[in-house]
Chain A
Amino acid sequence: MSDLTTVGKKITKRDAPLKVTGGASYIQDLKIPGMLYGGILYSKYAHAKILKLDTTKAERLPGVIAVITAADVPGNFRFGIMKDNPPLKAGRVRSTRDEIAAVAAVSAEIAAAALELIEVEYEELPGIFDPLEAMKAGAPLIHEEMKSNILKMPWKLVCGDVEAAKNESAYVVSDTFRTQWATHCCLGTSGCIAVFDMGNNLTMYSNTQIPSLAQNDYFEALSAFGLKNRRVRIVQSAIGGGFGSKLDTYAYEYIAILLSMKTRKPVKFIFSREEEFFATSPRQCTITKISQGCDKDGRLTFREIEMVLDNGAYTSWGATTPSVMMMPISSLYKVPNVKYVAQCVYTNNTYSQAMRGYGNPQATFAIESSLDQLAEEAGLDPYELRLRNANEPGELTPQNFKVTSCGLKECMAEVVKRLDWKGKKGNGNGRGVGMASLIHVGGGARVYKSDGCGTIIKMDDRGKVDVLTGATEIGQGSETVIAQIVAETLGVSIDDINVINNDTDVCPWDVGAHASRSTFVAGNSALGAAQKIREQMLAVAAQNMDVDPAVLDIKNGVVFSTQDKEKIMPLSKVLRKAHYTPGGNMFTAEHFYDPPNENFDKEFKGNLSVSYAYGVHGVEVEVDRETGQIKILNYIAAHDVGKAINPMLLEGQIYGGGLMGIGYALGETMIYEKGHLKNGNFLDYKIPTAKDVPPVQAVIVETDEQAGPFGAKGIGEPGLVPTAPAIANAIYDAVGVRIRDLPITPEKVLRALQEKAQADAERSGA
């Protein structure tokens, strides 16, 4: 490959100039003339019967145009993967985020006032808030029409023979780990504007991460509401953060559609910060029992995991996180025998959906904490145990993942070197080091039947390029990376590239901004289309220059012969030649890239992704033994990224993911009491501030993934997968206590230190 001019360079983000001037339009900023403002009334109780619901006073408030309840929802429409979620609830409420009524008014203030006038009479019912309780036989059913609170979504993965392997293991460890509900905290809250045209076709202004899938969801909803076979258009605003929070549709979106249908006006919903906390779906919390074993040489023999997941009152992607949790369970390190069982259980709590990592952080916390326990049992340095079992390029894992490029060992070496592992391990003076690895999908992920993304490229007479992509820009930089790939391939300046990515009327299909897939899938799609257009242009240029197209190249917007530097033709001239000739030509190309990965078979086996991203995080911590507080002295995040198409944006993902992981490990937790969220605000739900940033190094390891665009694989999620166990392991090295339940708070550390001191005293017969 000749010297790259754009790929691999620190190119500034395409949308940054508009954003730094305050000019980008987020959903909060959009206004349509005549627009109404929506508001939702939520349940007062976690579990109750609705005895009476009277909206008369609200309807009469001047400025209120419509009020709706479940009675106004046509048919028995339910959304969500289990179709168990009605947009407005009737008869019974099952959680404190249940929507029971909604209003549309001429101002947000009037909408809020109207909600206060809705009269509801409840009969409170006892609620179940512990999935372990909800699983028991005879527990009251959350959904009466289902026979059990355990979801009919049995997750089970078996590879090899775990029982036999257990018996043959020289060392075995077992323990239970818990993780908490944590939430995305996008700075831009959720919202939409629903508007219909004269043909009853819907346009949704939205900050969704799944434009094509949401289009389908709304299409089905419109059908159920009596509007069959309509067009649905999604126009995305600038998106103020995603992190998975917008990978599913929510009740408020269907409510907006219903209100817009009823009022025949655009209806806008914007979540307040409180609503963003309690009415969006957080990261799935987990209870994990894990056993792992190894032989006398420290080679892993088996891994057995059992999980119970609190599914909450309705079902979204939280229930499918086991499909991703299987990935580290079966394929992080070489483990020949694996067994994994997960059950999702309905309760009267909130319900989860996707959040960056999609279950991987939760599973990796258990696996990597347990691995350190195994290392201690086997008398091995935790780095040594990891090294002996590290994945390697060309491996086939027990779940049938085909590992192509793999920089796990290189990442480990970086961490060990930069952290001064050998110098700092085991010093015990309140300071310690710990590490943890990650595997994540890096080449798309076939979680749906399609993992594809389409791109259409067209060129104008002046050599400017329009790239229409299905990929969604949620702040991660997909727009810029796509522009770089196209600019590099076409030999033009990146400033000549215009990426259009926010309108389903214009943009091709894409399954969504999830699974860290944008660089790999959308990038390959853009690369394919760019290569096609390049061929078209070189064919026309070759004709005009009277040479073989094979000798031509393009740089800086000029086509030239590699054999005779005098033979040149500006690209714009090529384009005008093609266009302004009788019987002329226009240049467009399209490419739909659906990576050659596999859906899982009935046994949940199959090559989920075309390539896998690896990484290792190492942490040095200092534990204040009197207060239990943890200070991070040094943080190394080494990531195998295939190729860094844009090192600056890539580092941004590593820093951002890393700090989100630190928040998850040390301080973030949604505090629920009997189904009510007690800390739904930025004061009491503590995401890290600028003063919480530790000394951190982002280390990029390039392994040149052949299947990736210019060798790249994904990075969006890996940044926070191994953070919590790396920190937990470092704390153990520092002071000899292991916290098994996130977040690692000073209280837990101090309590553990006190218990350890007491146990030590008893043991020494003091």
Chain B
Amino acid sequence: MNHWLTAPVLIPLIGAFLQVFMGYAPLSLRRTLGLATTGLLLVSTVFLLMMADDGSYRAYAFGNWAPPFGIVLVLDRLAALMLFITALLALFCHLFSLGRTDVSSRQFHALFLFQLMGLNMAFLTGDLFNLFVAFEVLLIASYGLLLHGEGTARTVPGLHYVVLNLAGSALFLISVGMIYSVTGTLNMADLARIIPTLNSGDLPLVEAGGMILLVVFALKAALLPLTFWLPKAYASATAPVAALFAVMTKVGVYAIIRVYTLIFGENAGALANLGMDWVFPLALLTMVVGVIGMMGSSGLRTMVAWQVVVSVGTILAAFSLVSEAGLSSALFYTVHTTWVAAGLFLVVDLIAAQRGSAGDKIVTAPRMRNRTFISVMFMLGAVSAAGLPPLSGFFAKLLIMSAAVPGLQMAALWAVILLAGFLSLVAYSRAGSIVFWRNVDGHIGQPERLNFPHTVGAGALIAMSIAIVFAAGPLSDYTDATAEQLRDTSAYIGILDTPMVGEDES
């Protein structure tokens, strides 16, 4: 068994409780340690990414208890990809948080690292109930982070977010119960093995459980009609947190992809592709509502928040095409949108910091100090997010569009994607030209100067959009392979025979 699999969980955990111990140590020390932890995490995920690229499933049985009895972590291409996306994102968000965000509370670094631990747990676990625990870890940490920071603006959105997710957790438990009450197991591989063999009498409970589970994940992913908690929550969070939360919706997406390819996937017999006929239209509607939200937003933060909604719709629309190409394109788009949306959140924060009382509102204000740099960053991000060439968004959308098979589905998908692209183009160009070009005389009290962490944090994430273009070939090879691997559920089920330590490895 390869102990590396635990690294993405243990590194942040250890880093986190060290932070708690050092609650009163000098800030510089805590920062160094925090960044070191995130950096180490990134290294480990890169390592896992390379490991997973051989296309095999690796299982890690905690306590040396064989699955399905003990809890296993499972590493495959999908998990590794998500881990990597998150770790890279986290590093730059963490960097960006130095200075403005992390001084306002001693708990920030600890909460940030706990958040990462929860995320990584969710990506790695191969056990349905442990997935619940992972969700709780990342949620409670996200509550803390969301409410973190000066001022009272985020209290009410925070309350909404918390209450909704508590209700969601209750639903999660109900669905787990329903599924367990029939299958008598919690291990995902075991579930994938058992569910096709169920007799018709047992199906209703499992199906209902599966559907409720879908609702829970849809809430995390902010799929319509469970979208509306997101914009205000994200718009009011501090920039690094909002940026990190770009991956929070993706956890919901990840869970959907995992569970509805493995447990309720094409090989699930009577329950094959459960709920996908609901997801596709809802995903398209989500895109529409999201882009309307972008059009209507009066602040850049809200705009980017809605952008996140749009991207969730796009990913799920591609996924619910239920094809290898669709799945692959969905993953490609996930990589692109997570980093770019996060980068936009950070850039918008730079904008707000230099516009005095105008903040991120789309109104005229005195010319900002570093207009050129910031505006270029914003333009790159916007172009990429709107899906225009030559940046990553274009290729991601291209992949999705060419994944659709001719017919009504394709027509709908293309129409919505292109329309969304057009409207976001209009929205971004309007916002940009007002914010950057329509200046009034006057000057800000002390506009914040660009400092190293901010510039690098924001710049790097935006630059990812260019990097993806150059790496488009390898990346789409990887996502193709991932999609292929995900469709071969029998290989995943194979982890049930992972030899335990001490047993003879035959």
Q: Is B a genuine binding partner of A?
A: no
Interface residues of chain B, those whose CB is within 8 Å of chain A, are none
Interface residues of chain A, those whose CB is within 8 Å of chain B, are none
